[in-house]
Amino acid sequence: MAGLAALTLASCTAVPQQPALAILDRPATNDDAVPAFVDLSDMAADSVRLAAEDGGFRFYLARPARDAGFCLIQVADGDGDRWGSACKSDGGPVLTANLLGYGGDAAVVADDADAGDLVAQGYEAVQDNIFLRR
């Protein structure tokens, strides 16, 4: 009987909603393709969209392969295979990450998230959903 009660409680747990990112709703183009060396195994590869270019880097947004959330992929322009990624999969509206070789931090916010605190901390918008701080 205890097993049935635990099963019932688990099925009542709220499922996080997908944070709104309009850029992920547009059709993909050739510009959205990441280089072959980027590992997308934790992401829904068909959701990747180029969102911004800044400081010698390209920034892509994507959905995680499982769960609600979003991912940031950073790829260095030029030779080599320098890249990094971070995902938020709890359905929350903000993801922050240190940037590889960029000399700063990034924050990704959902379309309806308030970015006022980020701006107060020195972040600047480079795209509607991506804020960077050096």
DSSP characters over 2-51: HHHHHHHHHHTSPPPPPPP-GGGGSPP-GGGPPPTTS--TTB-GGG-EEE
pTM: predicted TM-score of the whole model, two decimal places = 0.83
With a cut of 80, say whether residue 86 has pLDDT above it.
yes
How high is the mean pLDDT of the chain? 85
Residue range 76-83: average pLDDT? 85
Nearest CA to 62 among 129, 132, 134?
Answer: 129
With a cut of 70, say whether residue 13 has pLDDT above it.
no
Q: For 118, phi and psi rounded to 5 degrees?
A: -65, -45
With a cut of 50, say whether residue 25 has pLDDT above it.
yes
The domain spans of the chain are: 17-32+40-133
Is residue 125 within 8 Å of residue 115, measured between CB atoms? yes
